[in-house]
Structure 1
Amino acid sequence: MRAFLVCLFIGLAQVIGLAQAASADVRDVQLPSIDGGMIEMSDWEGRPVLVVNTASQCAYTGQYEALQTLYDTYRERGLVVLAVPSDDFRQELDSAEEVREFCEMAFGLDMPMTDILTIKGANAHPLYEGFRETAGFVPRWNFNKVLIGADGRIVETWGARTAPMSRPVRSAVEAALAQAES
């Protein structure tokens, strides 16, 4: 019986801890910008943000075009699309300068973009560490997507195969925008 109560107590403590972690806010996070300086997530408080880990030499790299389309479609209503280049899957160019030039030349991107970051493992950037801690989300490949609501909480996550302009992504974005506008 004592072992059962100990397990129950530990389980409850974990649930309470997860509930507290799930309420964690990403708005305090800073990310290095691909253009130099820092990106402050707090600058987008009250706005939904779609965070996408990207790579320039991936079979899904064509999603950059759809990400830009999504951004163009909803930015006037407040959506931010944040590209986070990463070489965790060994498919990114060698430098942030190369990534920026590639994205501008090939896709005409003007969405916010970070410097090349580590997104998984012991050295994951705090934003992605927060995704892991609060939602159990760790990207399994490039072009995984995380929608953060206007309140700073994770709304939804999608894998690489889910296209940025797909109905599930657009529906979740529209719902997050509607919530932000109310």
Structure 2
Amino acid sequence: MVNASECADYLDVKVKKLHSGQQLDLCEITQGKPVLLVNTASNCGFTPQFEQLEALHQTYKDKGLVVIGFPSDDFFQEEDKEADTAEVCYINYGVTFTMLAPSSVRGSDANPVFSYLADKSASPKWNFYKYLVSGDGETVIQFNSRVKPDSEELTQAINSML
């Protein structure tokens, strides 16, 4: 069991923030809180979900939910340049939740967070797969790309973990 001042092992990593030299300590950001992890892409039919993800972030951030985006080119729909990915997220969609530097989210090259999610659930089959993980990291609920961030299914799951 994880204390509120600790984090689950899979989040005990330092990662680069999107289009920044800043290293983020995911353990520090999450600290035993429920986390919504999403593999994102800038040029996907599901890219407009950034708006709903941002709305979720604004609605639930003060209640304890942490939203983290993981841009990935695993499905060949991410920008080639990190600056362009940042523009899509920050300028086009006004994202304020944590966005990380692009990384792989499936297969042997998957980042440590998505390797854990694959072990507990399954690898994403497309962009904008959403993984809601309990504060202790033990419960992982996966939602496919078609499940919108403002869907009743997802918001009910979030409310049950808060």
Per the normalisation by structure 1, the TM-score is 0.80
Q: Which 5+ residue runs of structure 1 have no aligned equivalent?
A: 1-23, 178-182
Pairing of 1:13-162 with structure 2 (within 5 A): 25-34=9-18, 35-43=20-28, 44-133=30-119, 135-162=120-147
Higher helix content, 1 or 2: 1
For 1:152 and 1:30, the matched residues in 2 are separated by: 17
Specify the code of the residue in structure 2 equivalent to 1:27. L
For 1:123 and 1:155, the matched residues in 2 are separated by: 21
For 1:113 and 1:154, the matched residues in 2 are separated by: 22
- Partner-residue secondary structure (3-state), 1:129: helix
Identity of aligned residues (%): 36
- Partner-residue secondary structure (3-state), 2:61: helix
For 1:132 and 1:102, the matched residues in 2 are separated by: 27
1:166 maps to which of 144, 151, 157? 151
Q: Which 5+ residue runs of structure 2 have no aligned equivalent?
A: 1-7
**Conservation of the 8 A alpha-carbon contact between 2:35 and 2:134:** yes
For 1:164 and 1:114, the matched residues in 2 are separated by: 19
For 1:130 and 1:157, the matched residues in 2 are separated by: 13
**Alpha-carbon displacement from aligned partner over 1:62-98 (angstroms, at most 9, x marks no partner):** 1000000000000011111101100000000112211
Per the normalisation by structure 2, the TM-score is 0.89
- Partner-residue secondary structure (3-state), 2:98: coil
For 1:46 and 1:130, the matched residues in 2 are separated by: 16
**Alpha-carbon displacement from aligned partner over 1:130-160 (angstroms, at most 9, x marks no partner):** 1122x14100000000111111233311100
For 1:121 and 1:163, the matched residues in 2 are separated by: 25
Runs of 4+ in structure 1 deviating by more than 6 angstroms, as ranges, are: none
For 1:166 and 1:152, the matched residues in 2 are separated by: 23
| Greater Rg by CA | 1
- Partner-residue secondary structure (3-state), 2:107: coil
